[in-house]
Structure 1
Amino acid sequence: MIPALTLAILGAACGMTEDRNAPQDRSAIPAVSKDDRLSAMVPSDVKQDGRILVGQDQTNPPTEFVENGEARGMDVDLGRAVGQKLGVPVEFENAAFDGIIPGVQSGRYEAAMSSFTINAQRLREVDMVSYLSAGISGAVPKGNPDRLTLDTLCGRNVAVQKGTLVVEDLVVRSGKCRAAGLPEINVQQFQNQTDANLALSAKRAHAMLADSPIVDYAIKQTDGTLEHLDKVYNTAPYGLVLPKGKGDYAKAVQGAIQALMDDGTYKRILDKWGVQGAIPMAEVNPG
């Protein structure tokens, strides 16, 4: 099991770009074949440098994290498989979560894959291709000593990652506390998700909220010292982020993900990382 301190260290190597020629652990995921039709749909300015540079916040095990200097996780494996299907190698660059979509908009990144929930605001800024269903979940110390529920967080310290939709949800919940004459939630925002995990494990927070795959994994990796808080809620699809209105690029990526779903590669990747929430169809900018 990986203790919480190790989880915090995993996210520390921000700003690195993965070497596409470095040895990778793909033992459970066989390489997939290039689809010439989909490859032809990728805009020439995207593949002219021989790669697709993907922005990630690599502090979110099991979807994306750093281990021994190497990018790992469900999104990493799926992103590589998409690149193989499109015939363009994928590289990953670690960055702060709240700077990744602006990086796609500015052209720094040609894609982003970092547990981004699809919502109306993001769809106004970028194109997104759905690939997983996830919700918001919470964790508390084993036994839930404070007897917390999602509706009794007023006045409590709740650890979250900065820039995520969970922050927005807690702002709404805190407003309800204020309207009821109760203390507001003390939302402790951390740049890295692993630091939010550590705050809970170190008992500096009463609870931690994050996307359900991240909470599930954190609980499994802390040797039974944490447990789930209440239920999963606000379930919505994750999306692979692309620049808005860039020809057939989004259609090419959607076709690649769908092909991986159809041939079983997608399910093998989710199973490798113990991630729930498989969906049967990838869509461009789903409503």
Structure 2
Amino acid sequence: MKKLALLLSALLLAASFAGCGETPSSSSSAAAGSTVASEESTTADDNTLIMATNAFFEPYEYYEGDEVVGIDAEVGKAIADKLGMEFKISDIDFDSIIPAIQSGKASMGMAGMTVTPEREENVSFTRSYATGIQVVIVPEDSTIASIDDLEGKKIGVQQGTTGDIYCSDSPEKGGYGEDAVTRYNKGSDAVMALLSGKVDCVVIDNEPAKAFVAANEGLKILDTEYANEDYAIAIAKDNTELLEKVDKALAELIEDGTVQKIVDKYITSD
């Protein structure tokens, strides 16, 4: 279990979830009483809290009709309410979230985003608000039985996510190398590739994994964990004032039980 030990030492805690089934395109949603930011020239200001996300990560953010709902959507709205700010969601590619924050087109990023040293070089993070587990999805008849069996296999991941970062890392750092990884824009695309035999497994968070397996016959989740990780809110490094305000509001929402109530709404004990 050398790779598992290396990966677990590199990560902390987190959770995420990629939506499946038919969903609207990524620029046409609202969330939990919010409106969706225009893709054209929307810029964050003192009165508007714009949350950049990728709304295909259930139960953290996903489409329900024309709305973006989920844990991140509701926690973000609760923070905005506490700060007396209007709340909007900007649904963009996962890899575009940090650039949007840096350019001022978004106030913060919430997308089941793991705190990693690489990301901390570009943005600041609040305290963690959720935890979860990365797992491996395989076909029911797969010869892959544990993490150790992933070497030499074709691994599907969602581009820019934690699974992508650590799987594509070099073997010396606990990964499997760039050549082993096939990237997809959405977790659901990776699962479709698995079903069609284009990849041998998919590395993704436990909550979306459970939904994908429930929705698609012939798949299962390995019993062994791939890694644990921390999720937090990303904010521009030079926006220390907003970081302090958001972190304080988040701390209060955690303390009064609001965050846990939101998490429990989307993730049951089952």
8 Å CA contact retained: 2:56, 2:186: yes
Residue correspondences, number = 243
8 Å CA contact retained: 2:32, 2:67: no
User: In structure 1, what is the Cα distance between the partners aligned to 2:234 and 2:153?
Assistant: 34
Describe the superposition over 1:129-163 as per-residue Cα deviations: whole angstroms up to 9, x where unpaired.
Answer: 12112332111123x43243211123322211111
Q: 1:8 to 1:157 in 2, by over 3 A?
A: farther
Q: Tell me if 1:9 matches 2:22.
A: yes
Give the equivalent residue in structure 1 for 2:135: 137
Describe the superposition over 1:27-79 as per-residue Cα deviations: whole angstroms up to 9, x where unpaired.
Answer: xxxxxxxxxxxxxxxxxx9544x321111111111111122121011111111
Q: Tell me if 1:62 matches 2:74.
A: no
Tell me the secondary structure at the aligned position of residue 68 of structure 2.
strand
Matches within 5 A, 1:149-160: 149-160=146-157
Deviates more, 1:232-241 or 1:12-21: 12-21
Residue identity matched to 1:200 = L
Q: Tell me if 1:123 matches 2:120.
A: yes
User: In structure 2, what is the Cα distance between the partners aligned to 1:68 and 1:46?
Assistant: 26
8 Å CA contact retained: 1:82, 1:257: yes
Matches within 5 A, 1:76-225: 76-129=73-126, 130-142=128-140, 144-172=141-169, 186-219=180-213, 221-222=214-215, 225=218
TM-score normalized by the length of structure 1: 0.74
Superposed displacement of residue 114, structure 1: 0.5
Q: Tell me if 1:235 matches 2:233.
A: no
Superposed displacement of residue 245, structure 1: 3.0
User: In structure 1, what is the Cα distance between the partners aligned to 2:138 and 2:105?
Assistant: 38
Superposed displacement of residue 197, structure 1: 2.4
Q: 1:71 to 1:81 in 2, by over 3 A?
A: same
User: In structure 2, what is the Cα distance between the partners aligned to 1:127 and 1:178?
Assistant: 25
Q: Compare CA radii of gyration and give the structure with the larger one.
A: 1
Describe the superposition over 1:201-234 as per-residue Cα deviations: whole angstroms up to 9, x where unpaired.
Answer: 4443321101333323433x42664321242243
User: In structure 2, what is the Cα distance between the partners aligned to 1:259 and 1:139?
Assistant: 36
Tell me the secondary structure at the aligned position of residue 50 of structure 2.
strand
Q: 1:146 to 1:184 in 2, by over 3 A?
A: farther
User: In structure 2, what is the Cα distance between the partners aligned to 1:275 and 1:256?
Assistant: 25
Q: 1:177 to 1:135 in 2, by over 3 A?
A: closer
User: In structure 1, what is the Cα distance between the partners aligned to 2:259 and 2:135?
Assistant: 23
Superposed displacement of residue 246, structure 1: 1.6
Superposed displacement of residue 13, structure 1: 0.9
8 Å CA contact retained: 1:160, 1:208: yes
Percent identity, please: 23
8 Å CA contact retained: 1:13, 1:69: no
Superposed displacement of residue 184, structure 1: 8.6
Unaligned runs of 5+ in 1: 1-5, 24-44, 277-287
Q: 1:13 to 1:118 in 2, by over 3 A?
A: same
TM-score normalized by the length of structure 2: 0.78
User: In structure 2, what is the Cα distance between the partners aligned to 1:203 and 1:253?
Assistant: 44
8 Å CA contact retained: 2:44, 2:106: no
Q: 1:176 to 1:263 in 2, by over 3 A?
A: closer
8 Å CA contact retained: 1:126, 1:241: yes
Superposed displacement of residue 117, structure 1: 0.4
Residue identity matched to 1:171 = S
Unaligned runs of 5+ in 2: 1-18, 36-42
User: In structure 2, what is the Cα distance between the partners aligned to 1:173 and 1:104?
Assistant: 29
8 Å CA contact retained: 1:55, 1:93: yes
Residue identity matched to 1:145 = S
